[in-house]
Amino acid sequence: MLALTRKKGQSIVINDYIEVTIIDINKDNVKLAVKAPKKIPIYRKELYLEIQKSNQEAANTNKNIISQLKNLTPPKSGNV
């Protein structure tokens, strides 16, 4: 992890095309502005973790459904 000291109005640049700027500093809060291409998703960490959890639960559910479907016996076909 890289720890930096920045003042209001100062920025850091990540990978040539993501810019993070300090736009306000209060007693317990720092307000950041993130400038990045629209194709790059940006999430607050707590929301990102919820998305990951939801995706994992969905993947597990899909595995269970697929497993149940594989165990189904196909109906017997009569001779025509």
Output the pLDDT for position 15: 94
The per-residue pLDDT for range 26-72, each reduced to its tens digit, is 999 999 999 999 999 999 999 999 999 998 888 777 666 777 777 77
pLDDT band at 10 (very low <50, low <70, confident <90, very high): very high
For residues 65 and 59, what is the distance between their CA atoms, to the nearest angstrom?
10
Residue given tokens 């629209």 in the structure block: 38
pLDDT band at residue 78 under the 50/70/90 scheme? low
The residues, any chain, with a CB within 8 Å of residue 4's CB and separated by 6 or more, are 12
pLDDT of residue 75: 63
